[in-house]
Amino acid sequence: MESCLLLTAASLLLLCFARTSLGDVFFSTLPQTLVVTASPTQGQVLKAGEDSITIAWGLNQSFPEGTDSSYNQVKLTLCYAPISQADRGWRKTEDNLSKDKTCQFTIAQKTYNRITQNFTWIIEKDIPTATYFVRAYAYDSLGNEVAYGQTTDGKKRSNLLKVEAINGRNLSIEIASVCFSAFSLLSAVGFFVVEKRGRRLVKN
């Protein structure tokens, strides 16, 4: 009897969690009440694992008092710009936020504060080469998105930042060194052949 009750309680709890995590929040329904800015200038190229960006966020003061009364947490995310989503289904934008793949990287999660905050983030080593913008989501105490703000305009064309991944850099260095080795090998062989032929010529 007791274990049965416990089981029921546990499944009810699970059900609750399942419900809250489902959410069914659509991006197009969220008000843009947060002002978000990032330090890089338009088109600046940042190196993953080395360069950092400073992000500032806060409530747009032109919204009435109480706008942010349900805001509990803020999550800063790094999001793919349309140019880096083309032909890549795994980065696709979906209005249903539980399906959306635009903002795959969490920069930080903070308790909401109406005073403008800032955070400096070293671009993590695993961020792929792409063009991005920064978006902040405000969450209520149930963990549902209730508002947002972003560094770019609605069409996601202005104030974009570019990240160059470590892999890309290593790969090009590797390719360069492989080419260089091949070139050295070829020139060594070439030199050897030329020299041998030269000796033969001298002999004959």
Ligand X SMILES: *[C@@H]1O[C@H](CO)[C@@H](O)[C@H](O)[C@H]1NC(C)=O
Among 35, 44, 70, 131, binds ligand X (CB under 6 A): 35
Minimum CB separation of residue 182 from ligand X in Å reads 48
The nearer residue to ligand X, 54 or 106, going by C-beta atoms, is 54
The nearer residue to ligand X, 139 or 165, going by C-beta atoms, is 139
Residues between 65 and 94 with contacts to ligand X, criterion CB under 6 A:
none
C-alpha 129: how far from chain center? 10
Residue 60 in the binding site for ligand X (CB under 6 A): yes
Candidates 83-91, 96-104, 132-140, 193-201: pick the segment binding ligand X (CB under 6 A): 96-104
What secondary structure does DSSP assign to 56-83, as a single string?
EEEE-TTSPTTTTTT--EEEEEEEE-GG
- The DSSP letter of residue 29 is G
Among 20, 52, 54, 172, binds ligand X (CB under 6 A): 54
> Where would I find the beta strands (DSSP E) of the chain?
34-38, 45-47, 52-59, 73-80, 105-111, 117-122, 130-139, 145-150, 161-164
Among 27, 30, 56, 72, binds ligand X (CB under 6 A): 56
CA distance 170 to 173: 5
- Residue with structure tokens 């030269």? 198
Residue 149's beta-bridge partner residues?
A: 136
- The DSSP letter of residue 18 is H
Residue 118 in the binding site for ligand X (CB under 6 A): yes
The nearer residue to ligand X, 35 or 168, going by C-beta atoms, is 35
Residues between 134 and 173 with contacts to ligand X, criterion CB under 6 A:
none
Residue 20 in the binding site for ligand X (CB under 6 A): no
| Interface residues toward ligand X, by CB under 6 A | 22, 24, 35, 54, 56, 60, 62, 96, 98-99, 118
